[in-house]
């Protein structure tokens, strides 16, 4: 393996192409090349979606996990646009990651979280988006969980779905979980659930 590479980049110009609920910025930039020298200037659009938190609630007493089901425009051309997902929400300015997890759990599932721990953080689609996802595992009393939730003024219509960990793993293996946040969390949870290391850092 060769020695360390000199990595650098320069933003030559930037322009906001669209600004609404989300933002799109067009950059003209250059960066160093692996073979040496600099790349000829290129133009790239960046979807500034904001970062988000996803949380998987687990009840060790009933041995159940909680997912939510809701309509997603990005899945409009899939077999169904209603997806099983983690509870999730965008981070508001000044809000901690744990605070987002707790707020969204109440809004989307009507539950109060106990202790939480980080699972994984990742860039969801770095080829064109700045979005970073932070996943958490949380303890929760799910004995009375269920029903329909969400903020109606934000167009949310959310159904709570409870299942056993093994049912979750079966859906994972069958390819029935089709969004990255849920797939990553389910795989992380399975390894630690079966090794009994859910709360071991």
pTM for the full predicted model: 0.89
Q: What is the pLDDT of residue 75?
A: 82
Per DSSP, the residues of 59-78 read: ETTTTEEEEEEEE-GGGTTS
Q: What is the pLDDT of residue 3?
A: 54
Domain boundaries, the chain: 9-48, 52-195
The gap from C-alpha 5 to its chain's centroid, in whole angstroms, comes to 32
Residue 46, helix vs strand vs coil: strand
Q: What is the pLDDT of residue 4?
A: 56
Q: What is the pLDDT of residue 156?
A: 73
Strands 132-140 and 52-59: parallel
Residues forming the active site: 154
Q: 54: which residues sit within 8 A by CB, 6+ positions away?
A: 85, 86, 87, 88, 133, 134, 135, 136, 181, 182, 185
Architecture of domain 52-195: Alpha-Beta Complex (3.90)
Enter the tokens of residue 86: 């983690």
Q: 140: which residues sit within 8 A by CB, 6+ positions away?
A: 57, 58, 59, 66, 105, 111, 112, 113, 114
Q: What is the pLDDT of residue 50?
A: 84
> How many CA atoms lie less than 13 Å away from 144 in the CB half-sphere?
3
Residue 52: burial class (beta carbons within 10 Å; 0-12, 13-18, 19+): buried
The residue assigned the tokens 């069958």 is: 174
pLDDT < 50 regions, the chain: 1
Q: What is the pLDDT of residue 5?
A: 66
Q: What is the pLDDT of residue 181?
A: 96
Q: What is the pLDDT of residue 18?
A: 95
């Amino acid at each position: 393996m060769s020695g360390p590479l000199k990595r650098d980049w320069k933003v030559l110009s930037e322009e906001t192409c669209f600004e609404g609920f989300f933002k799109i910025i067009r950059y003209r930039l250059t960066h160093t090349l692996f073979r040496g020298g600099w790349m000829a200037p290129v133009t790239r659009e960046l979807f500034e979606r904001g970062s988000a938190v996803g949380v998987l609630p687990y009840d060790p007493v009933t041995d159940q996990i909680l997912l939510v089901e809701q309509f997603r425009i990005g899945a409009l051309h899939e077999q169904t646009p209603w997806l099983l997902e983690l509870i999730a929400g965008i981070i508001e300015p000044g809000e901690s990651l744990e605070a987002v997890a707790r707020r969204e759990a109440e809004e989307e599932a009507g539950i109060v979280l106990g202790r939480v721990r980080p699972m994984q953080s990742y860039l969801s689609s770095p080829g064109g988006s700045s979005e970073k996802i932070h996943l958490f595992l949380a303890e929760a009393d799910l004995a009375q969980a269920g029903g329909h939730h969400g903020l109606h003024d934000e167009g949310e219509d959310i159904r709570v779905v409870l299942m056993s960990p093994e049912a979750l793993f079966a859906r994972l293996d069958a390819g029935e979980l089709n969004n990255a946040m849920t797939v990553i969390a389910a795989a992380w949870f399975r390894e630690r659930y079966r090794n009994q290391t859910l709360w071991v850092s």
